[in-house]
Structure 1
């Protein structure tokens, strides 16, 4: 094991707010002669000269006790996950996880592990890949020392994603998605033996609950270029385990790129990315995915709405189309579903009409409301809604422009009846 010290990088790469918290944690742990380590992605990203955002601490001792001690006198919310010997600490400007060093065992593939206290070596062995199985000592006697039991440093240098043991994907098949995600994020490659085991264990994806798979997909959609992950997942036949009809071709890169453009300055939502990924599926496949992934109402509605709007493309491609007709076709559908069709629709006329709706038509309102119509002599009842609809259509089509125009139109309607 190389003798590498990252003491200076801790101060350079960690958020400044984290340093006094870690110092306090080391001091409190030291009272009980417990050892504290910075683990996982933090060590990896320091070695890659990247900013550290995920702060995971492992304690050879009782992490739950230490978390409660850290919280005393501080503005912090502590959440204890007792079955997993883990605590999450949420400060106003920082979050971190504190875990008791532990070992894990799986009674069968796909289930959450049984957890028992262990030492640092045990804890690192339970991790997904060697590049995430390194630690940095935070203790005074060897502060900053890199601890690498499983060859993570060499794999970083060789740009490899490698599992730690041959049962890794069988124990937890979500690691299949993570392997592809890290490979594409870091511009690494999945190590040859790991890739062979990944292909062997693809059926193990069926042992994972749909909500856990959806969490992995959300992580993919949070990447800078999720289309790279999806394309690689297609090559490795991982996507087929979402749905056999799901294919990724060159169109996805262009669609995701356009999603980023129209979402600026924010990033596209996972919902928009998912709607684009599934755009070419039929309604039956969409329903299978909704049920399998246990998608919430908002995402489910967007996927269904996207299919319904896609079915309207023939009507939306007619030229010229009155603005009120465009509004009638699109109003009431989720914004993300409408954006999905803006991006993925082929006919230029459809895209123009959807763009007009998003840019202008959806913001059009009448000046008069129901009370105003009653004041003009209209009886309360269904006719109020009909007349407000008439006014809105006239506004959309440019037939009325002012409140006075609307009042004249209503009086004309009264006289005509």
Structure 2
């Protein structure tokens, strides 16, 4: 089969092929770029494999580009990379690999194209396009990857137990590709994932987190979450979610399966926002429920304060998965606040309550509301309609009060520094008491959100604490 080369690819393919011919290196486009092009998916990463020195080929290609392209060399890995327009092109020499049982890092030596294809994780990632004069554009498919692509099937080129034992990260990659592409994992391949799941323990948490992030960024992350569970990997990579599984019944009353609920919430949110960290907030929003589940004779099953407990659990998840600290506070905040908006729709909404949620959520109020709307997973369309209408009314109230009081990202007009200067006192508990009292008075609507009213309140609170201003 001949690959249909597009006009925008032709020049760079021919240029690489010409440079390879000058060096006498048989050269091929291999892997994800081929797969994605055949699936009509966008791809900006071009992997070039040559039977020779990938670094030397990259330099030759870089020199022949106009303008000349800078080549980045990774000597330790024997690879080189350059950018051409919107393509990231990586060059590597064909290689074969062998593994030790205690490591996913292989012993690598030079090899043929067949050796290189044999080390690939899945048949759909082992497809290659020749850039050589003799068979230019021919697809080289030793493992029937084209058939698997057509059948939307994830299959390993080798016996799957060897594939996953050699590099256990491939188990997560199988689930990630199934999620991203909407493919099914071949039953024999999937049973091998289940059998070798404990091998995942030799993989670094950073690499595990990368695969989870890619699953979360897929159109339907629930596919991957459910596959992680079925494969037995969820217990290791996200035990907080695994703890949410199952339904318990007592006196004819049962609670929902909070793991399945979470998977639906993440899918709902994925339809509303591409933001990875908002999706993480959806994934973790109910993790406190496993620890707070209680049976109460009158109320039935309860999960009191699961939002606060979940907030305290989030840092442990971030530390384990080596997720970025600068995103931790954001996810924690949304987990902590996700119950607040729904409580405001179930009672007469006071201006004070709306001011407080605006103040506490700050610039993340819109994301919080998106999370809350995604948290509606009822199968009753009338309930869903009613919940969404309630949230729309709450949004309107928030907009009214925001326009009037300007509380988003608001800081009270009285600072700790002003209090200390006015009363000649050092940092102390009293400074915090005065500042908090002024803030609460504004949020409660007892005084206007402006400097003079806040200053007058500051003097009154200080007088109650027997603190007097210093004389000018």
- TM bucket (normalised to shorter chain) is 0.7 to 0.9
State the 1:87 CA deviation: 1.9
Between the aligned partners of 1:412 and 1:251, the Cα distance in structure 2 is 45
Partner of 1:268: 275
**CA 1:364/1:313 → structure 2, altered by over 3 Å: closer, same or farther?**
closer
Partner of 2:249: none
Structure 2: 5+ residue stretches without partners: 246-258, 289-309, 378-385, 464-472
State the 1:169 CA deviation: 0.7
Q: CA contact under 8 A between 1:103 and 1:115: conserved in structure 2?
A: yes
2:318 paired with 1:290:
yes
Partner of 2:268: 257
Between the aligned partners of 1:68 and 1:357, the Cα distance in structure 2 is 62
**The 10-residue stretch of structure 1 (145-154 or 309-318) with the greater mean CA deviation from structure 2:** 309-318
Between the aligned partners of 1:389 and 1:115, the Cα distance in structure 2 is 67
**37, 40, 60: which one pairs with 1:46?**
37
Query: Which digits, 9 at most, give the CA deviation of each residue in 1:365-395, with x for residues without a partner?
Result: 479687xx89xx9678779995798479648
State the 1:154 CA deviation: 2.2
Query: Which digits, 9 at most, give the CA deviation of each residue in 1:303-362, with x for residues without a partner?
Result: 444454368789877754404433454459898678646644899799689958986465
Partner of 1:65: 56
Kindly report which structure 2 residues correspond to 1:355-394, keeping only aligned pairs within 5 A, or say none: 360=402, 362-363=407-408, 365=410, 390=438, 394=442
**233, 243, 251: which one pairs with 1:245?**
243
Partner of 1:114: 107
Between the aligned partners of 2:393 and 2:103, the Cα distance in structure 1 is 47
Q: CA contact under 8 A between 1:160 and 1:189: conserved in structure 2?
A: yes
State the 1:134 CA deviation: 1.0
Partner of 2:252: none
Partner of 1:96: 89
Structure 1: 5+ residue stretches without partners: none
2:88 paired with 1:78:
no
TM-score, normalised on structure 2?
Answer: 0.70
Q: CA contact under 8 A between 2:413 and 2:454: conserved in structure 1?
A: no
SS in 2 for 1:10: coil
Kindly report which structure 2 residues correspond to 1:147-186, keeping only aligned pairs within 5 A, or say none: 147-166=140-159, 167-186=162-181
Between the aligned partners of 1:110 and 1:336, the Cα distance in structure 2 is 41
State the 1:118 CA deviation: 1.0
Query: Which digits, 9 at most, give the CA deviation of each residue in 1:59-95, with x for residues without a partner?
Result: 1111112222333364645332323322222345321
Q: CA contact under 8 A between 1:128 and 1:175: conserved in structure 2?
A: yes
**351, 356, 359: which one pairs with 1:325?**
356
After superposition, the CA RMSD in angstroms is: 4.1
Q: CA contact under 8 A between 2:58 and 2:80: conserved in structure 1?
A: yes
State the 1:234 CA deviation: 2.4
Between the aligned partners of 2:414 and 2:58, the Cα distance in structure 1 is 57
**CA 1:292/1:137 → structure 2, altered by over 3 Å: closer, same or farther?**
same
Between the aligned partners of 1:169 and 1:408, the Cα distance in structure 2 is 68
**CA 1:91/1:338 → structure 2, altered by over 3 Å: closer, same or farther?**
farther
Query: Which digits, 9 at most, give the CA deviation of each residue in 1:269-324, with x for residues without a partner?
Result: 2x222222222223576455333312221243344444543687898777544044
SS in 2 for 1:34: coil
- Say which structure, 1 or 2, has more relative contact order (CA 8 Å, 6+ apart): 1
**The 10-residue stretch of structure 1 (49-58 or 313-322) with the greater mean CA deviation from structure 2:** 313-322
TM-score, normalised on structure 1?
Answer: 0.78
